[in-house]
Structure 1
Amino acid sequence: MDLSISTFIENFNFLLFLLFVMIYSYQFVYMFVAFVAKRKLRKQARREVAPSKYAVIIAARNEELVIGQLIKSIKNQKYPEDMIDIFVIADNCTDQTARVAEQAGAIVRKRLNKKLVGKGYALDYMFKIIEKEYASEKYEGYFIFDADNLLNENYIAEMNKVFNRGYRVVTSYRNSKNFDQNWISAGYALWFLHEAEYLNLPRMTLGTSCAISGTGFLVHANLIRSNGGWIHHLLTEDIEFSVSQIIKGEKIGYCRNAIFYDEQPVTFEQSWNQRLRWAKGFYQVFGKYGKKLLGGIFKGKRIGFSCYDMAMTIMPAMLVSCMSITVNLAFYAAGFLGIFDGKEVIDTTTLALLKYISWFYGLLFVLGFITTLTEWKKIHCSAWKKVVYTSTFPLFMFTYIPIAIVALFKDVTWKPIVHTVVKSIDEVR
């Protein structure tokens, strides 16, 4: 084979790897900042602030098994009971979600709309009801949860402290109810722990904006009011909300002492469907906000770095991976078709890919290892499973590659995830 072809294949894969490392190098700085911040925060005294009045909103679709435990964990908060009202939207339910939620003490509204499907529409429906029927309550903020969540007893009190520091959006520490079920649920859980402590904590420490992640966040009532309700209806409404607020100059806060738990998928089919929606949603968000997001990078340090951070969050990893696989497969095809010296092309491409995969496995393993080590006491499962699932974490992350490729071409719709892990907060811990 022509030496230039061999050299091109090797250099191409090396340059892609180098590009990936360069655009994400700031996250290595994040990890160092997180280590320092963790030390300092251990020594800080807890402060008390006056309680604000909140509405808790839960969008639920066929969640009769789990929603009662969430409401119970909210009722058991170490926070004035008269300062919390719980609202549940039974969204297109065909089970007893509404009845279970009402019996548990929530204010329930049923929503039947087969055309406007998705969590964002359910949230908007409830916001409008609260504005119309409960305006006299004068809620200062809204907590957003999924029906499978559970809250530590100090969750709302801790979130209230950060909220009263002036943050109009606050996210929290996302833990898992079922880390120990298998490598898929553990893969999700480990990523969310990393996201909390090694992305949002350093963002908070450095004074840049954090990002919400699906559930477990608090939004100021004035922000919802000024937006005209919940106006984000792409497949990943959480990322869309974060990006839209950051572009406007909003700084999202993070409360690491507010811990909640949610249930992760355990079958690959469920995981594939969910992450396919996320990947497609990321593309949608970039398509809608990409121009403003990239333009925001040059608007000064106040929002510039936050825009860069979010741009890196929603696009490059998928595109770099897709590009690498596409080009290397093209070389494989060329080798098989005899366009070049087949054996040489296949051997060179295979070696380059093995190096590429090995490097990424190593990076992801280190990321998972550090997260497992520092969050060890907060991961509720046996020690041997923590060790094993740290090793399988890179494999879980690698499965995003085919998902990202399929999401580029497939029309994706929202599909419900069945929640069956029925545990109290005490059982989880």
Structure 2
Amino acid sequence: MLILIRSFNFLILALFGILYFYQVVYVFIRWFSRKRTFRAKRLCKYAVVISARNESAVIGELLESLHRQNYPSDLLDIYVVADNCTDNTAQVARNHRAIVFERFDRVKVGKGYALNWLFSQIETLVGLDTYDGYLVFDADNVLDENYVREMNKVFSNGYPIVTSYRNSKNYGSNWISAGYALWFLRESQYLNGARMQCGTSCAISGTGFLMAKEIVKANNGWKHHLLTEDIEFSADNVIQGKTIGYCEKAVLYDEQPVSFRESWYQRLRWTKGFYQVFARYGGELMRGVVKKHSFPCYDMMMTIAPATLLTITALVCNGSFAVAGLLTGHLMWTKVTLEAIFGNLIGIYLSLFFFGLVTTITEWKQIHCTAGQKVRYLFTFPIFIFTYIPIAVAALFKKVTWIPIRHTIVKSVQEIRD
């Protein structure tokens, strides 16, 4: 039995190591490989599309950051869909010179449906062909003044989809907001950044991305309506062989939850959405790996794979071994099993701490809070990720619907940096 316990834990450790070791390699690629630079081949015309539900408190600052862009204003039109709003989001957006449509649909609820409807309005108003590409933001975002200019450099060099550097308005609010923000910074620099240097495909993370009009037209608007429409969009395009680019000089700031309750429901939706994407696209991604030897398909498969469930399975199996040892009097089984559980959790904590440490060191100047907070939240970052364990279990059994997150932090880019 002891051999079985040790073999089981070795196999779990080896499986995780084999499947995800490439992400460690990404770190060294990011450090030692030459970063790609781009020059704009032309100035493209863009439409900004924003889905907003009861976002009157924050949408004005996003719109002002768009008006302050270092990009020709005649090449940038701004559209807002005020989706099922009960406040004055629509009027605030109009006051900030956006083209606003109001939508009321209690059946087709969510950002994906709102975007699809907005695209249909744009098609009727001016035609989708009016624009070379479409920039997608959430209402709580604010943008660096060179955001559009930098995105245009990558887009005009042939990338049909481009994502950007995702920073946070409120890194220092508490350990929850810092957990989100550090994860997104790591995702930007040590996943998408490394992918871009390797010439493979990146992945969209929530907000702040650009897509060519051809994609919008081919999809008849926006066709992705799972709970995580961003990762569904990414998986669908990777399967089709499209390469998603990354522009690290295009900096976006968004607001992170500070309440554990809000964080729980948001991440419950994300986790359920990842399960949905894995169920719908996992088979096609695997075929891409096996038949086409596609690394982007493999990378995307690892991104959406329910790895937390494998961790939970290992913990449950080890717990069963420990209980069996107690009931049968084989206390050595229990001792070895508890050592394995403790060792696995420490190993996961240290690996997460490593990624957090690397990101904090290299992005130190981009993290806008005190030095003490930067250091303190390094240690709570793995704990934040550990809270996904009960969320992963709940998402298996609970029916999850889209619930809007309150946004209240109003800051300009300058105020964030100060």
What TM-score do the two structures reach when normalised by structure 2?
Answer: 0.96
Instruction: Give the superposition deviation at 1:331.
Output: 2.8
Of the candidates 397, 419, 425, which is equivalent to residue 385 of structure 2?
A: 397
Aligned partners of 2:299 and 2:39: how far apart in 1? 31
Gaps of 5+ in 2: none
Counterpart of 1:112?
104
Distance 1:226 1:136, change over 3 A: closer
Q: How does 1:91-106 map to 2 (within 5 A)?
A: 91-106=83-98
Aligned partners of 1:85 and 1:142: how far apart in 2? 10
Counterpart of 1:161?
153
Aligned partners of 1:362 and 1:151: how far apart in 2? 33
Q: How does 1:236-247 map to 2 (within 5 A)?
A: 236-247=228-239
Quote the RMSD (CA, aligned, Å).
1.5
Instruction: Give the superposition deviation at 1:309.
Output: 0.4
Of the candidates 58, 61, 72, which is equivalent to residue 69 of structure 1?
A: 61
* The 10-residue stretch of structure 1 (274-283 or 13-22) with the greater mean CA deviation from structure 2: 13-22
* The 10-residue stretch of structure 1 (133-142 or 60-69) with the greater mean CA deviation from structure 2: 133-142
8 A Cα contact 1:171 1:252, kept in partner:
yes
8 A Cα contact 1:14 1:356, kept in partner:
no
Find the residue that maps to 1:25 and give its secondary structure: helix
Q: How does 1:269-284 map to 2 (within 5 A)?
A: 269-284=261-276
Counterpart of 2:350?
362
Q: Aligned pair 1:35/2:31, yes or no?
A: yes
Aligned partners of 1:286 and 1:136: how far apart in 2? 31
Counterpart of 1:385?
373
Aligned partners of 1:140 and 1:47: how far apart in 2? 17
Percent identical pairs in the alignment equals 55
Of the candidates 152, 155, 177, which is equivalent to residue 144 of structure 2?
A: 152
Distance 1:137 1:224, change over 3 A: closer
Find the residue that maps to 1:349 and give its secondary structure: helix
Q: How does 1:166-181 map to 2 (within 5 A)?
A: 166-181=158-173
**Number of aligned pairs?**
417
Counterpart of 2:413?
425
8 A Cα contact 2:122 2:128, kept in partner:
no
Q: How does 1:6-405 map to 2 (within 5 A)?
A: 6-37=2-33, 40=35, 47-135=39-127, 138-301=130-293, 304-335=294-325, 338=327, 340-341=328-329, 343-405=331-393
Letter in 2 for 1:407: A
Aligned partners of 1:375 and 1:264: how far apart in 2? 18
Letter in 1 for 2:295: F
Find the residue that maps to 1:388 and give its secondary structure: helix
Find the residue that maps to 1:298 and give its secondary structure: helix
Aligned partners of 2:321 and 2:84: how far apart in 1? 49
Instruction: Give the superposition deviation at 1:330.
Output: 2.5
Distance 1:335 1:410, change over 3 A: farther
Find the residue that maps to 2:345 and give its secondary structure: helix
Distance 1:299 1:383, change over 3 A: same
8 A Cα contact 1:335 1:345, kept in partner:
yes
Letter in 2 for 1:323: T
Find the residue that maps to 2:369 and give its secondary structure: coil
